[in-house]
Structure 1
Amino acid sequence: MINTEKIDNVELIRGIKRRIMLKSPRLQYLALVLLETCVKNCEKAFSEVAAERVLDEMVKLIEDLQTIVDNRNKALMLIVSWGESTNELRYLPVYEETYIVCS
Structure 2
Amino acid sequence: MNCARVFIERVNQRKGEEKKNTMASSSSSATVAVEKATSDLLMGPDWTMNIEICDSINSNHWQPKDVVKAVKKRIQHKSTKVQLLALTLLETMVKNCGDQVHFQIAERNILDEMIKIVRKKAHMQVRDKILVLLDSWQEAFGGPGGKYPQYYWAYEELKMALIYVRPTAKGTFN
TM-score, shorter chain, exceeding 0.5:
yes
- Specify the structure having the higher radius of gyration (Cα): 2
Q: Is the 8 A contact 1:50 1:95 kept in 2?
A: yes
Unmatched segments (≥5 aa) in structure 2: 1-55, 160-174
**Which of 19, 22, 26 is the equivalent residue of 2:81?**
26
Q: CA deviation at 1:79?
A: 0.5
Size of the aligned set, in residue pairs, is: 102
Q: CA deviation at 1:93?
A: 5.2
Report the TM-score when normalising by structure 2. 0.54
Q: What are the residue-to-residue correspondences of 1:7-18 with 2, within 5 Å?
A: 7-18=62-73
Q: Which residue of 1 aligns with 2:61?
A: 6
Q: What are the residue-to-residue correspondences of 1:47-86 with 2, within 5 Å?
A: 47-65=103-121, 67-86=122-141
User: Quick one: higher RCO (CA 8 Å, sep 6+), 1 or 2?
Assistant: 1
1:27 & 1:49 partners in 2: Cα distance? 18
Aligned in 2, Cα 1:35/1:10: closer, same or farther, shift over 3 Å? same
1:46 & 1:59 partners in 2: Cα distance? 17
Q: CA deviation at 1:101?
A: 1.4
Report the TM-score when normalising by structure 1. 0.89
Unmatched segments (≥5 aa) in structure 1: none
Identity rate of aligned residues, in percent?
34
Q: Which residue of 1 aligns with 2:102?
A: 46
1:97 & 1:88 partners in 2: Cα distance? 8
Q: CA deviation at 1:95?
A: 3.0
